[in-house]
Structure 1
Amino acid sequence: MDSVPSFEKESTTNEVAVKIRKDRNQDVLGSIRRARNVQLCFLVDCTCSMYPHIDTIRTSIGEILKKLIDDRAPQAGVDTTRIAQSMELAFVAYRDIGDKTEVLQFTNAEKFKAFTSGLRAEGGGIDLTKDVFGGLEKALNLSWSDEYGTKVIFHICDYPAHGNEYNSGVRDSYPGGDPTGLTARTLFLQLREKGIQYYFGKLTNHTDVMIKKFSEEYGEAITVFDVMDVETIKTAVIDSVSLEVSTSVSSS
């Protein structure tokens, strides 16, 4: 049987190599596109103690959306650089054990703004600790999708989770921890598995012990932002999402 000429073998090898390169480039481009697809969940304590902050959070959300997904033409003196190519937004308003938790599944900006406009600070029980773990579990059970390469939970609260190991001695009706058996270890393990990045918006020093403990379970120091006013909340959320988009693109 006649052997295949060497130049034909070379040609076939080159075609295979070119195809592999094209496929690899397509994979990389696909990963980069997914990196600019963002799912952002606001996890917010909405108990009575948060009353002074709810309006501030609501106002800042409008500013955040303009910066993250505004696709208007550039205007003089206005920065309208679009950070996210595609964005879905969710909101988990948690309170305390026995109180109502309100959940908005991932949706568009208009439905998100309509939901947040109706938020109220209520409930919270007689103690100061909150159902942080219940809220975080609800956030983890949202419809996170692999089509979105950047996934972020931004958590804002003024008091810590139930359990002595998470607070600095504030009044707690459940000093032994979450009464349903939820733990920071299992919740943050799920965060890792789902590829979700967690950022924290700090309002008081009462959450310092909790965040230190969360960092241990997370496996790295959690980035904490002071969020006492509209401008600092806006900057904190935009910076965290921008960082994750950049990191995802670089990894791709």
Structure 2
Amino acid sequence: MDKTDSDTELDIVKQGLPSRTAGSLDPSTSSYSLCGTSTSTISETLISELDTQKLAQGCLERYADEAGDSRYASKKSSITDSVDFISTDSALETETIRLREKIIHKAIKNIKSSMQVDLCFVLDCTGSMSSYITAAKNCIQQVVEHMESTNPNIKLWIGFCGYRDHCDGSDRLQIFEFTDSYSKFKSYLSDQVEATGGGDGPEDVLGGLDAAVNKMKWSHRTRILLHLCDAPPHGRHFTSQHDNYPDGDPNGLTAESVLKDIKSAELLYYFGKITNQTDKMINIFQSIIGEFPVFDLDTDGKDPKALTAKLFEAICSSITSSVTLTSITDENVYERRKKNLEKDSREPDWDTLPVKTGKLLHYLPPKTLADIKDPKYFKNKSNLILRKFSYKHAPKPFSSGAERYAYFALDVTHKLTENIVIKECIDLGKKANSLERYLEMIEVSTVAYFLSAEFNSVAKKSGIKKKVNFLKPQALRHKDDSGVQCYAVEPKFRDDKFKRFNVNRGVIKEYHSTLEAFAHFTYEHTGGYLVVTDLQGVELENKFLLTDPAIHCTDRLRFGRTNLGKRGIKDCFLANHKCGNVCEKLGLTRISR
């Protein structure tokens, strides 16, 4: 390996930094500017990767590959080698815009389709379930009103499939077809559904799920099956209770066959746990269908209000999570899940892992609004800071989203080590691991960080005490004998509950007036040029600490695949935003839906 391209030596000259210092994982660490550095002291491959024209061409190749254009499908050749008419900067830009429009058109179409939701309650309706039937009836109006207030783009159709046991004859199954009349749904539960029946311990769980899949008319893109029960299916492998059918379902249904149908029909399965009697069932189901959310609905039946509140939270969470998932892709949601790497939520034993070395890159903080609106600012090598970095890296991710895997990692550059997080792009094409893509991610966070500082300054003057802050990630370039690997690196959140508050595709998962006002502020402060969204992180006493934002921008050649351009601003932000008290205090122009 060429010594000049090795990550074992710092291969640039230390520079005197301007008075504005860039944030890093360790503020005391010396940083190195690429500005004015002799090219003889920087590895040739790194110089090549940071070449302005090559970054632009790399961006085009990535967008083209993501768009699925057959001319760019080859991973062996460069677009600029295979498309002879892209010979000037203007032609390159024209072709990139065309490809971006293709991606955006498809994304918006899929988003609008995903907002159409079929929600089916599958309930055990035997004698012990009376309070849960009542809770479903009582909370549905709250759910509808909440969705209309926070997510007016989401349209709900609600259905019901109740089951009892084989000894209950014609009352074993009850089906109420999907409707958008919530009053009819409530009336049906009140007048037609009674908690009665059942014989031995287990119930006809598989029969109920099978009826929900095959006897109901699922017709919309997002399909949610919310299953509530306090007893397992029949069969020795599900329960040790007295069972009239110890060999399993008398009609020949199996968990494998029923769950296969659920996957084929793309029904997103959620479970409301009431007792520990269903623990074996949950484990068996997850071994077949993969992980699914399990909501704790156990209230001992003593507090109807608490039960209704728990069920309300479960329903709202299942709706927003499902819409978020189906809005990402038009492929089978279970097939997409299968592509994810195996995860491990435990931190590794760091003593057993080797030390790796690399280079961290980040941008000098922009000074003005003009800087963040100028894409050339982020293509200028003089605005990049680079430093040497040593780290350890967990072998498996602890989490994953639509765009990235997240790994535990340890900064061992100095004697005092620091827990950090390393993020790797999910392979979405030939340029998934390019330094260009990671620098684009850092650009998004740098812009969001700048705008949050502007927001906090204005908010403080308006008497708003809660701040909005962003972590400052850096791009990591690691090279060894196997090649170059790139990542994003950021500090690790402390042990606060990580939440996704809103989604760039127009879903508000947890409403906060301050966060929605921040998004509104970014739109108004930049004159409608962009809006910062996909706000996720932790809520602390005096601030929100966020990471991995997305930006919709009128310039379609910036901010990556999550930038849905003017359509994203219009259809995913303006159409869904509701001004709250913080918007009013800041004097932001009211947005009419």
Give your verdict on TM over 0.5. yes
* Residue number in structure 2 paired with 1:223: 293
SS at match of 1:201: strand
Seen in structure 2, the aligned counterparts of structure 1 residues 206 and 132 have a Cα distance that, compared at 3 Å, is: same
Asked if structure 1 preserves the Cα contact closer than 8 Å seen for 2:205 and 2:233, the reply is: yes
Seen in structure 2, the aligned counterparts of structure 1 residues 84 and 137 have a Cα distance that, compared at 3 Å, is: farther
* Residue number in structure 2 paired with 1:85: 154
SS at match of 1:102: strand
Seen in structure 2, the aligned counterparts of structure 1 residues 163 and 38 have a Cα distance that, compared at 3 Å, is: same
After superposition, the C-alpha distances for 1:99-134 in whole angstroms (9 at most, x for unaligned) are 51110111112322221222210111x301111111
Query: Shift of residue 55 of structure 1?
Result: 2.0
One-letter identity of the residue aligned with 1:112: F
Structure with the higher fraction of residues in helix conformation = 1
* Residue number in structure 2 paired with 1:214: 285
Distance 2:115 2:195 in 1: 33
After superposition, the C-alpha distances for 1:49-79 in whole angstroms (9 at most, x for unaligned) are 21343323322223222223x3xxxxxxxxx
Matches within 5 A, 1:1-252: 22-68=101-147, 70=148, 80-82=149-151, 85-97=154-166, 98-100=169-171, 101-108=173-180, 109-118=182-191, 119-124=193-198, 126-141=199-214, 142-145=216-219, 148-167=220-239, 169-218=240-289, 220-227=290-297, 228=299, 229-251=307-329
For CA contacts below 8 A with separation 6 or more, give which structure has more relative contact order: 1
TM-score (norm 2): 0.36
Distance 1:247 1:128 in 2: 36
After superposition, the C-alpha distances for 1:176-222 in whole angstroms (9 at most, x for unaligned) are 1000000110111111111111000011110111111111111x122
Segment of structure 1 superposing worse, 136-145 or 23-32: 23-32
Asked if structure 1 preserves the Cα contact closer than 8 Å seen for 2:270 and 2:293, the reply is: yes
After superposition, the C-alpha distances for 1:206-247 in whole angstroms (9 at most, x for unaligned) are 0111111111111x1221111131111111111111111122
Asked if structure 2 preserves the Cα contact closer than 8 Å seen for 1:211 and 1:222, the reply is: no
Distance 2:189 2:152 in 1: 22
Larger Rg: 2
**Structure 1 runs not aligned, ≥5 long:** 1-6, 8-13, 71-79
* Residue number in structure 2 paired with 1:4: none
Seen in structure 2, the aligned counterparts of structure 1 residues 120 and 178 have a Cα distance that, compared at 3 Å, is: same
Asked if structure 2 preserves the Cα contact closer than 8 Å seen for 1:38 and 1:84, the reply is: no
Asked if structure 2 preserves the Cα contact closer than 8 Å seen for 1:199 and 1:222, the reply is: yes
SS at match of 1:179: coil
SS at match of 1:63: helix
SS at match of 1:236: helix
Distance 1:56 1:21 in 2: 46
Query: Shift of residue 24 of structure 1?
Result: 4.4
Asked if structure 1 preserves the Cα contact closer than 8 Å seen for 2:133 and 2:189, the reply is: no
Distance 2:144 2:311 in 1: 12
- The structure 1 segments of at least 4 consecutive aligned residues displaced by more than 4 Å after TM superposition are 14-24
SS at match of 1:170: coil
Segment of structure 1 superposing worse, 85-94 or 176-185: 85-94
* Residue-pair matches, total: 230
Percent sequence identity is: 33
Seen in structure 2, the aligned counterparts of structure 1 residues 239 and 83 have a Cα distance that, compared at 3 Å, is: farther
SS at match of 2:150: coil
Distance 1:17 1:202 in 2: 49
Query: Shift of residue 94 of structure 1?
Result: 0.7
* Residue number in structure 2 paired with 1:77: none
One-letter identity of the residue aligned with 2:179: T
CA RMSD of aligned residues (A): 2.6
Distance 2:155 2:137 in 1: 22
**Structure 2 runs not aligned, ≥5 long:** 1-84, 86-92, 300-306, 331-593
Asked if structure 1 preserves the Cα contact closer than 8 Å seen for 2:164 and 2:204, the reply is: yes
SS at match of 2:237: helix
Asked if structure 2 preserves the Cα contact closer than 8 Å seen for 1:133 and 1:184, the reply is: yes
Query: Shift of residue 32 of structure 1?
Result: 0.6
Distance 2:94 2:313 in 1: 49
Query: Shift of residue 172 of structure 1?
Result: 1.2
Structure with the higher fraction of residues in strand conformation = 2
SS at match of 1:32: helix
One-letter identity of the residue aligned with 1:165: H
Query: Shift of residue 26 of structure 1?
Result: 2.8
Query: Shift of residue 248 of structure 1?
Result: 2.1
One-letter identity of the residue aligned with 2:195: A
Seen in structure 2, the aligned counterparts of structure 1 residues 151 and 122 have a Cα distance that, compared at 3 Å, is: same
Seen in structure 2, the aligned counterparts of structure 1 residues 155 and 15 have a Cα distance that, compared at 3 Å, is: same
Query: Shift of residue 15 of structure 1?
Result: 9.6
Distance 1:246 1:143 in 2: 22
SS at match of 1:177: coil
